[in-house]
Amino acid sequence: MSKNKSASGQVRIISGQWRSRKLPIHDLEGLRPTTDRVRETLFNWLASDIRGARVLDCFAGSGALSLEALSRYASYARICELQSNAAKQLKQNLQTLKCDNADVISGDSLALLKQGLNNDKGFDIAFVDPPFRKGLANTTMALLAEHNWLNENALIYLETESDLTQLAIPNHWVELKQKNAGQVTYRLFQYQLDE
């Protein structure tokens, strides 16, 4: 199971151009990479949308989600990570993969999201997998919506602790999928302006 692999300091890319590559990750307190099983389900959900997509990874951690997206030919990823050691490792992993269509931003994701896009292109897929029990999910969703980070029909992946019951889903976000895996609930939304 992926949790054990993660504990040993590696993350494995499941599919795409870097299929089965194992990359080192920092063993940081609270780092909780999305398990292989959940990632496989998520990327089955995204299968027809990932190629050519612009991806925003709001709480990258190990980078498992954004690296998987890039392996499956996402056109670009902006990868945000607060812990400087994890961000440095992500940059090294991108260099190892010879990947030049991604940027790692070391810093507070919420502060970044508050700044808005600065005339940049929006994103087609956003990964929101914040540290659990810190109240970050609702704030992150609100900032994505308020500051126009998402292109129309963008897909938003949200991973939270299963016991989180108070979710403030933004207007125009339509839930497409929801599953539970142990103590994790994960959902896929679509930003639909015509709803």
Q: How confident is the model at residue 116 (pLDDT cuts 50, 70, 90)?
A: confident
Rounded to whole angstroms, the Cα distance separating 160 from 10 reads 22
DSSP code for 101: S
Residue-wise pLDDT for 155-178, tens only, equals 999 999 998 888 999 999 999 999
- Whole-angstrom Cα distance, residue 176 to residue 50? 16
Q: Distance of CA 128 to CAs 17, 44, 193, Å?
A: 24, 17, 20
| C-beta atoms surrounding 1 within 10 Å | 8
* CA–CA distances in Å: residue 105 to residues 26, 81, 100, 183: 16, 6, 14, 29
